[in-house]
């Protein structure tokens, strides 16, 4: 437990050290090392099946790692430290930690029987027992922020895919997370709807939100990203500033991947 967490004076928002994850005999994450600084937009790219979603799920307590260490905001994921001893978190403690992390998926999974504003209010009201009036006010403000002030009363079926995804982002933000995880948030959208979602993410980045973004949108990574990791087959192949990695990839595997997506 003597691993120094602080590198270059800044405590990372996320730090992975030799993280391994297997599903049965399938070794998926094979020693991931990386650090995400506070306020950073950290882009994660790589071929399908390379372990990107699995890694996000480990950060968000949806999967347990098999070896290595993973910290979020200075705390070991899944464990409580007491002196030299580590104790596995109880379900209730895990739930409390997960509240601080917002996650946005490829599929938006809004509640179909609730309006946009009700979807955004749901977490604070049900999980944090917040007063409905307070939650509603914040939800309306967040819908305004994602450009949907006029759609608050619409049901998901009355919204485009891009609008639904922006509601999903507002819903995640309603829990006031310290970290946002985006797992291919625009991959399921028609091309003409992608821009509005990326604009919302760009705004979040400008406001200083710490974000890990799995994406195939290389333009977004180049313009908005502070750091970029190329992952393949469960390892980090290459990392650096997005402009460096995308403009001058050092590894053949990176070049091969980029030639397909750029």
Residues 186-225 that bind ligand ADP (CB under 6 A): none
Tokens at 145, concatenated: 């922020």
- Burial class from Cβ neighbours inside 10 Å (0-12, 13-18, 19+) for residue 162 reads buried
The binding track of 15-54 with respect to ligand ADP, each residue x by CB under 6 A or -, is: --------x--x-x-----------------x-xxxxxxx
Q: Which does 25 bind (CB under 5 to 8 A by kind): ligand ADP, Mg ion, none?
A: none
Rounded to a whole number of angstroms, the minimum distance from the CB of residue 231 to Mg ion is: 11
Binding piece for Mg ion, criterion CB under 5 A, among 52-60, 67-75, 159-167, 172-180 = 52-60
Q: How far is the CB of 25 from Mg ion (least distance, A)?
A: 21
Size of the site for Mg ion (CB under 5 A): 2
- Tell me whether residue 152 or residue 197 sits nearer to Mg ion (CB atom): 197
Tell me how crowded residue 183 is: count the other CB atoms within 10 A of its CB. Answer: 21
Of the candidates 56, 197, 174, the one whose C-alpha atom is nearest the C-alpha of residue 114 is: 174
Label the pairing between strands 101-104 and 85-88.
unpaired
Q: Is 62 one of the binding residues for ligand ADP (CB under 6 A)?
A: no
In sequence order, which ranges of the chain are alpha helices (DSSP H)?
52-59, 91-98, 116-126, 132-145, 161-173, 191-206, 218-224, 242-247, 252-261
Question: Which position among 50, 53, 115, 164 is part of the footprint of Mg ion (CB under 5 A)?
Answer: 53
Do the Cβ atoms of 244 and 259 come closer than 8 Å?
Answer: no
Minimum distance from CB of 16 to ligand ADP (Å)? 14
Give the whole-angstrom CA distance, residue 139 versus residue 131: 12
- Cα 126 from chain centroid (whole Å): 22
Between vectors from CA 163 to CA 162 and to CA 165, what angle results, nearest 5°? Answer: 65
51 binds, among Mg ion, ligand ADP, none (CB under 5 to 8 A by kind): ligand ADP
* Distance in Å, CB of 53 to ligand ADP, minimum: 3
Q: Residue with structure tokens 């750091």?
A: 227
With CB under 5 to 8 Å by kind, the binding choice for 208 among Mg ion, ligand ADP, none is none
Per-residue x/- track, 157-186, ligand ADP (CB under 6 A): ------------------------------
**What does DSSP say about strands 211-214 and 79-82: parallel, antiparallel, or unpaired?**
unpaired
Cα dihedral 64, 69, 71, 76 in deg (nearest 10)? 70
Smallest gap from residue 213 Cβ to ligand ADP (A): 13
Task: Give the binding-site size for ligand ADP (rule: CB under 6 A).
Answer: 11
Residues present in the chain in total = 262
From the list Mg ion, ligand ADP, none, partner contacted by residue 28 (C-beta under 5 to 8 A by kind): ligand ADP
Residues near Mg ion (CB under 5 A) are 52-53
The residues of the shown chain that bind ligand ADP, judged by CB under 6 A, are 23, 26, 28, 46, 48-54
């Amino acid at each position: 437990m003597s691993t120094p967490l602080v590198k270059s004076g800044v405590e990372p928002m996320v730090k992975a050290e030799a993280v391994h994850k297997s599903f049965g005999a399938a070794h998926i994450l094979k020693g991931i090392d990386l650090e995400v600084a506070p306020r950073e937009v950290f882009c994660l790219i790589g071929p399908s099946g390379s372990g990107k979603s699995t890694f996000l799920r480990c950060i968000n307590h949806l999967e347990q790692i098999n070896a290595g260490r993973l910290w979020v905001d200075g705390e070991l994921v899944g464990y409580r430290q007491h002196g030299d001893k580590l104790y596995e978190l109880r379900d209730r403690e895990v739930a409390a930690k997960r509240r601080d992390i917002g996650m946005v998926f490829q599929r938006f999974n809004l509640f179909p029987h609730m309006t946009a504003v009700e979807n955004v209010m749901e977490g604070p009201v049900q999980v944090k027992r917040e007063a409905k009036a307070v939650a509603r006010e914040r939800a309306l403000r967040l819908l305004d922020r994602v450009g949907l002030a006029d759609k608050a009363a619409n049901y998901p079926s009355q919204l485009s895919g891009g609008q639904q995804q922006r509601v999903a982002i507002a819903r995640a933000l309603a829990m006031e997370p310290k970290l946002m995880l985006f797992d291919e948030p625009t991959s399921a959208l028609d091309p003409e709807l992608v821009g509005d979602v990326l604009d919302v993410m760009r705004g979040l980045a400008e406001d200083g939100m710490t974000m890990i973004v799995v994406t195939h949108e290389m333009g977004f990574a180049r313009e908005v990203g502070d750091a970029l990791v190329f992952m393949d087959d469960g390892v980090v192949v290459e990392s650096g500033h997005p402009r460096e990695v995308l403009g001058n990839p050092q590894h053949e595997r990176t070049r091969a991947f980029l030639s397909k997506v750029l």
